[in-house]
Amino acid sequence: MSQVQGSGVGLWIAAIKRDKKARIGAIILGVFLFIAIFGPWLVEDPDALVGVPLQPPSSAHWLGTTGQGQDVLAQVVVGTRVSLTIGFCVGIGVVLIGALVGITAGYLGGRVDAFLSLLFNVFLVIPGLPLAIVIAAYLPSGPFTLAVVLIVTGWAWNARVLRAQTLTQRKRDFVAAALVAGESKFRIVTREILPTMTSLLVAQVIGSTVYAIGAQVGLEYLGLGDVSAFTWGTNLYWAQNDSALLTGAWWTFVPTGLCVALVAFGLTMLNSGFDEITNPRLQLERAWRKYLTRNKTEATHSTPVVITND
Amino acid sequence: MTKPVLSIQNLSVDYVTDDGPVRAIDNVSLDVMPGEILGVAGESGSGKTTLAKAIMRILQPPAVISGGRVLFEDKDLLQLDEEGLRRLRWTRMSMVFQSAMDALNPVISIGEQIVDTMKVHTDFNSSQARDRAVHLLEMVGIPGDRIDSHAHQLSGGMRQRVGIALALCLEPSLVILDEPTTALDVVVEKEILGEIKELQNKLGFSVMFITHDLERMLQVSDRVAVFYAARLAEIGPAKGLRDNPQHPYTQGLLKAFPSIAPGARTPESIPGSPPSLLSPPSGCRFHPRCSQVVDACSQTRPIRTDLGPGHAAECHLLSQETGAAT
Ligand SMILES: Nc1ncnc2c1ncn2[C@@H]1O[C@H](COP(=O)(O)OP(=O)(O)O)[C@@H](O)[C@H]1O
Ligand SMILES: [Mg+2]
């Protein structure tokens, strides 16, 4: 078996089985998903005042206490659930909207394309984060608002990429063949064009999720979230508010920061592993590179010469 | 005896896959003489394109050259570094690709592409290069006033002619043509082949001409090499090969083509299909399809047997005969 067939779950399993990067990413993500789903039942109430404020990690409070005397571990764990939920919802949301707009524009062309292209180009030139700050400041604060804000400011780039991809696919002969065979436009888009983009869509969801988690943490850190909720962003907001940096209370912000970095890292690893498994060129090059390394030859621009006497 | 322009000796090329290396050119030796047209024939997948690109060292991953020597104008191309290869490519040896549409840049006019190529490798100024581009286009049968056209404005035949003009613009001593006319209709094909032969007569370069159309190839080539499953089955003068093919595969190929000669036999195809290179048959790779198999065929690889000047084949029937004679 040299080529990975199919799509969806099967591909993911293949990627995780065969690719080290994908495996590392999947393990990191699996741990965080476990924390997000079951964690909140395993820790104390993050709101409860459980001890003396700003205590360093101890056996009673593994990650110490906040400036208010709450348990840091409990806040990080409960924050994981909210932050990951928003991250994935936004990641999927922007790609769904981007796909709808981009593929429609690319496939229908003409006036529809002109209008939709104008629309996403306008959204593209509006700087995303400042707009997000403005909207978030006016709407009632909370995780849902944040998700809406991030989707509104984040979909346009995906639409643009998918429109371009649709334009190139539309001209391929297999689409012409489907047209000749009398397939409907809807079927051509969903059955012929979408499947060729699986790996691109997955990459976009993952990339957008990383963006969403980062942007959400940033906005909340600036106080634009609901500061009474427990998310990674508000954790950092309170750490800053309680002058954690000045007092050297590293345990109030390092664990949350580490979580954000780890999730972004895990998602990126998973993505590059998935890319290697769905992109046959990368896959072939991998075997080739290994072969060259084993025979102590450099990968050059011109065809390499590896003399083997067999 | 004159020295060959290109001498390929025991060349092997592998594609490195997840299942290990697949040999797409297996221990192939052949020469191209100055001013000669060498035809390379073989079924689709027999390794013709791999051979052509391996000579120029332009095979992309996952390809690896795994043995042999490629001597071109006294240099071993397999020993050259990137810079050495760059200096030879296109100035001394050039190539016309199977699909001219893919080989031409869609957003640059054909004239500019020829001019750019010349300016990279020579010290022509723009107007000299442009004059020469017009001259080249006219030489391959494209009116000079089409010089500012783009690839998509030209017919398939014209694009392929542009490809030929581009290959000839630096006066190389070897031009490799990889199925230059396969995508064209027979009338245009005939015209273009005629023109290549005429140009070659006039300019004196050597040609390695690849096609799966053996009949057509025998008309234009001086000598013909027949490939089967990554190996060279037979090589010989065109006339000798047509009238007196020695390898059963060459015989089969010739019988498979219809002829318009009066009283011609009906074409017979060779039974079976070419083997997978992942697990090629043992011994002679053609033995499962061969009508004249003997015991040795499935056991040992046939050795190359010389059958006269410039004529050789790899077949047990032939090596046994000569073996008995000496
Ligand atoms: N990139 C590649 N990876 C693996 N195998 C390849 C690759 N390119 C060509 N091959 C194999 O090498 C063999 C020769 O191919 P090619 O040189 O294109 O044949 P031809 O030009 O005679 O049709 C074929 O069997 C093909 O399957
Ligand atoms: Mg080919």
Query: What would the pLDDT profile of A48-70 be if each residue is shown by its tens digit?
Result: 888 888 788 888 887 888 878 78
* Most ligand 1 atoms within 8 A of CB, residue of B14, B15, B66, B96 to mutate: B15
Contact call for residues B20 and B68 (beta carbons, < 8 A): no
Reply yes or no on whether the pLDDT at B105 is more than 70: yes
Sign, Cα dihedral of A171, A177, A178, A183: positive
Mark yes or no for CB contact B16/A304 under 8 Å: no
Q: Is the peptide bond before B143 cis (omega within 30 degrees of 0)?
A: no
Structure tokens at A37: 């789903």
How many CB atoms are located within 10 Å of the residue A129 CB? 13
Q: How many percent of chain A have pLDDT more than 70?
A: 96
Quote ipTM for the complex: 0.83
* Structure confidence at residue B325 (pLDDT): 39
Q: How far is CA B93 from each of CA A309, B22, B258, rounded to the nearest angstrom?
A: 29, 27, 35
Predicted TM-score (pTM) of this structure: 0.74
Name the pLDDT band for B289 (thresholds 50, 70, 90): very high
- DSSP letter at B79? T
CA distance A19 to chain B (A): 13
- Element (H or E) spanning B236, and its range? strand B231-237
Q: Do A303 and B63 touch (CB under 8 A)?
A: yes
| Residue B52 in this model has a pLDDT that exceeds 90 | yes
Of A291, A300, A305, the CB nearest to B16: A291
pLDDT-derived band of residue A85, with 50, 70 and 90 as boundaries?
Answer: very high
For residues A285-305, give the mean pLDDT.
Answer: 87
pLDDT tens profile B212-238: 778 788 888 999 999 999 999 999 999
- Among candidates B220, B165, B306, B282, which has minimal Cα distance to B41? B220
Nearest-angstrom CA–CA distance, A291 and B16? 7
Q: CA-nearest residue of chain A to B51?
A: A303
**Cβ <8 Å between A303 and B58:** yes
Instruction: Place A283 in a pLDDT band, splitting at 50, 70 and 90.
Output: confident
Predicted confidence (pLDDT) at residue B77 exceeds the cutoff of 80: yes
Task: For residue B65, list chain A residues with Cβ-Cβ distance below 8 A.
Answer: 303-306
Q: What is the mean pLDDT of chain A?
A: 85
The residue extents of the domains of chain A are 29-293
What is the pLDDT at residue B261? 64
Q: What is the mean pLDDT of residues A80-104?
A: 93
Q: Which ligand is closest in space to the CA of residue B40?
A: 1
Residue B150 CA to ligand 2 centre (angstroms)? 26
* CB-based contact, B139 to chain A, within 8 Å: no
Q: How many CB atoms lie within 10 A of CB A119?
A: 14
pLDDT greater than 80 at residue B13? yes
Nearest CA-CA partner of A190 in A103, A117, A101: A103
- Give the burial class of A180: count Cβ atoms within 10 A of its Cβ; 0-12 exposed, 13-18 middle, 19 or more buried: exposed
Instruction: Name the DSSP class of A97.
Output: H
Q: What is the pLDDT of residue A92?
A: 95
Q: Do B61 and A284 touch (CB under 8 A)?
A: yes
Catalogue all structural domains in chain B, each as residue range(s) with its CATH number.
6-229 (3.40.50.300), 248-260+279-326 (no CATH)
Mutational pocket test of ligand 1: of B17, B44, B49, B99, the residue with most ligand atoms within 8 Å of the beta carbon: B49
Q: If you take atom 9 of ligand 1, which residue's CA is the nearest one?
A: B50
> Which of B18, B19, B65 lies nearest to residue A303, judging by beta carbons?
B65
CA distance A284 to chain B (A): 6
Number of H helices, E strands in chain B: 11, 12
**Is B64 in Cβ contact with A291 (below 8 Å)?**
yes
Least confident range from A4-8, A91-95, A159-163, B98-102: namely A4-8
Return the residue whose CA atom lies nearest to atom 6 of ligand 1. Answer: B15
For residue B228, the CA-to-ligand 2 centroid distance in Å is 13
* A1 pLDDT tier (thresholds 50, 70, 90): very low
Report the pLDDT value the prediction gives residue A310, as an integer from 0 to 100. 56
Rounded to an integer, the average pLDDT of A23-30 is 92
CB B297 within 8 A of CB B284: yes
pLDDT at site A162: 93
pLDDT > 90: percent of chain B? 44
Query: Minimal CA–CA distance to B59: which of A232, A299, A234, A216?
Result: A299
How far is Cα B2 from Cα A167, in angstroms, rounded to an integer? Answer: 55
Q: How confident is the model at residue A5 (pLDDT cuts 50, 70, 90)?
A: very low
**What is the overall mean pLDDT for chain B?**
88
CB contact under 8 A, A308 and B18: no
Subunit contact A299:B78, Cβ cutoff 8 A = no
B66 touches chain A (CB under 8 A): yes
Single-letter amino acid, residue B74: D
Give the chain A residue nearest B70 (alpha carbons): A305
- Region for residue A167 given its phi and psi (left: phi exceeds 0; alpha: psi -120 to 50; beta: otherwise): alpha
> Residue type for B193, please?
L
Task: Quote the tokens at residue A268.
Answer: 């990126």
Which pLDDT value is given to residue A51?
A: 81
Check residue A297 and give its pLDDT.
85
Cβ < 6 Å from ligand 1: which residues?
Answer: B 15, 17, 22, 24, 42, 44-50, 62, 277
> Which pLDDT value is given to residue B324?
43
Q: What is the pLDDT of residue B321?
A: 58
* Mutation for testing the A interface, residue in B11, B14, B17 having most A CBs under 10 Å: B17
**Residue in B58, B59, B62 closest to A285 by CB:** B62
CA distances to A239, B130, B213, B259, B262 from B256, in Å: 83, 46, 11, 9, 17
∠B150-B153-B158 over CA atoms, to 5°?
A: 90
pLDDT band at B37 (very low <50, low <70, confident <90, very high): very high
pLDDT tens-digit map of B140-174 = 888 989 999 988 888 888 888 899 999 988 989 99
Please state which of the four CATH numbers 1.10.3720.10, 3.10.450.50, 1.10.260.40, 3.90.1720.10 is assigned to the domain occupying A29-293: 1.10.3720.10
